[in-house]
Amino acid sequence: MTDPIRPADPQPAAPSRLRRWLLDAPPLLLLGVAAAIGVAGFGTRRAIATASAERQAAEARLDAARREAAAAGDSLAAVRAVSAGPAGDTAFIVVSIAENRLWYKRRDSVLFTTRVATGTGGELKKTAGSKATWKFDTPRGRLKVERKDESPMWVPPDWHFVELAKKKKLSLVFLKGAMTVPVGDGSVIALSGQDVVRRMPDGHEIPYDAREGREIIVGRKLIVPPLGTHQRRFAGVLGAFRLYLGDGYGIHGTDVPSSIGRSASHGCIRVRNEDIEVLYQLVSVGTPVLVY
Amino acid sequence: MTSKARVLAWVVSVAVVAAAAAWNVQLLADWRRESAAASRATRAADSLEAHTRSTRERALVERLRREARSQPGVALAIDLDSAHLTLLRDGLVLRRLPVTLGAATAQADAQALGRGAFEVATVLGPKDRWEVPAWLFTERGLPVPETTAIRGALGVAAVRLSDGPWIYALPTVGPLADSTYTMPGAIRAKAKDLASVTPNVTVGTPVYIF
């Protein structure tokens, strides 16, 4: 007999399609995920291969860079092994013509500097009507101190007399041998040994005391004493010392200090007397003199 | 599907996913390692190459400096780093003077100053005319005149090097007469300084720029 009130037990209901899917699908989904991860993994493997190739290329480049760096370092070391300047520790003199200045240097250090006078650059005709000239330049280039002179005497070159004669409108008489020049009072100017003398009518001889500014002038004639005579050696003109540079050029003192700092000389390098004293003490024979 | 089968499927699926994930993690680690190694090697190579370029530049500078100091006779040396021009004779320094260097500009038809060994190609004096290039007027914001050959446009003295750059003095006429301006790709010195140097150089005098 059935209970009319209590319904019969229902048949277990079949799971719904959704529930069945929920129960069965996840493993399939997970397998799908695994497959996707696997596919991604293959992509990563390709990326690894690419990165690996890049690493190898970069390491090869690094190796090459190391070799290049070593070669460059060797090259720099080889260059540095060569001396960076003239050998030795020689001091030298530099003279600027444009700036009329002298430097005494050792390597790149200035040991002494002062103003100087250098050549005017002017020209003087050797004889009237002649095309030959003297040019009063200080020579550019490399000279050297050939010797050091104390109390140097100036042996005026011919241009000194030519210049003076031109300035004072005198004629020149180059005294030589047995030549005599009458003075007008019966005496004559003549050579006697190493002197230019005034020979009196009685034969008495008076040597001339010639020096710069006191040249021998008779009437309108300027007497040029021969080289080697005492009258062709002027004291005091070059100061107390001279550094002789050869070929008639030198660095010396002056009796015209106002000329210092200007282009005023006939080619020599003039300095103040107190400066040539310093240079004379500092500079040794053989010192290069570079004039620019 | 029975519950047992479902559990088994779950276990297998999870295991497969875990294995795949682990494999992928391993791959990612490998990729990171390779990428990092490549990156490290690239950075090291970049740095080393830069160092090598710098070393080569230093070697070039040192070589040119030594060549200038071992050159017999007169030579000019221009140090770009300290902006100084040096007159040398037999490697001994006669005169060292400050200069200004003209950087290349976009408008200028001039190259930047390069290091190297050159020779003096032209020497100009104060009375020489210089054909001022049209681009220079344009760069200075000036109209290009009909006649561009200007006497003294490069100052009291000027030297042109074999590869084109000029060393000139500050002029009083022309588009370069401005103490705040240096012609691009050129070297400018004070008039008094350069006038004391140029009487010593002739065509063919070696010039070292380093």
Chain mean position to CA A286: 19
Q: Mind listing the pLDDT tens digit of every residue in chain A (292 residues)?
A: 445 566 556 566 677 887 777 777 777 788 888 888 889 889 999 999 999 999 999 999 999 999 999 999 999 999 999 877 776 678 999 999 999 999 999 988 999 999 999 999 999 988 777 789 999 999 999 999 999 999 999 999 999 999 999 999 999 999 998 999 999 889 999 999 999 999 999 999 999 998 888 899 999 999 999 999 999 999 989 999 999 999 999 999 999 999 999 999 999 999 999 999 999 999 999 999 999 9
> What tokens appear for A258 in the block?
């106002």
> Which one, of B73, B81, B103, lies nearest residue B207 by Cα?
B73
Burial degree of B191 (CB within 10 A; 0-12, 13-18, 19+): middle
Q: Compute the count of residue pairs across chains A and B with CB atoms less than 8 Å apart.
A: 174
**Lowest-pLDDT range of A239-243, B13-17, B88-92, B183-187:** B13-17
Interface probe for B, chosen from A74, A79, A95, A106 (most Cβ of B below 10 Å), is: A79
Q: Which of B38, B52, B196 sits opposite A99 (nearest CB)?
A: B196
Angstrom distance (rounded) from CA A220 to CA A91: 50
CB pair distance less than 8 Å for A54 and B38? yes
Q: Using an 8 Å Cβ cutoff, are B81 and B65 in contact? A: no
Mean of pLDDT values over B136-162:
92
Interface probe for A, chosen from B6, B60, B90, B95 (most Cβ of A below 10 Å), is: B95
Q: Chain B contacts of A290, Cβ < 8 Å?
A: 89-90, 92, 94
Q: Chain B contacts of A108, Cβ < 8 Å?
A: 93, 96
The whole-number pLDDT of residue A237 equals 92
> What tokens appear for A209 in the block?
């005391």
CB pair distance less than 8 Å for B62 and A52? no
Q: What is the pLDDT of residues A63-105, one digit of tens each?
A: 999 999 999 999 999 999 987 777 667 899 999 999 999 999 9
Q: Chain A contacts of B196, Cβ < 8 Å?
A: 96-99, 292
Q: Chain A contacts of B86, Cβ < 8 Å?
A: none
CB pair distance less than 8 Å for B35 and A54? yes
> What tokens appear for A103 in the block?
């430097």
Q: Chain B contacts of A30, Cβ < 8 Å?
A: 10, 13-14, 16-17
Rounded to two decimals, the ipTM of the complex is 0.76
Query: Confidence band (pLDDT; 50, 70, 90) for B109?
Result: low
CB pair distance less than 8 Å for B66 and A82? yes
Residue B106 has pLDDT above 90, yes or no: no
CB pair distance less than 8 Å for B63 and A79? yes
> What is the average pLDDT score of chain B?
91
Residue of A nearest to B28 (CA): A44
Find the Cα–Cα–Cα–Cα dihedral A181, A182, A188, A190, rounded to 10°.
10
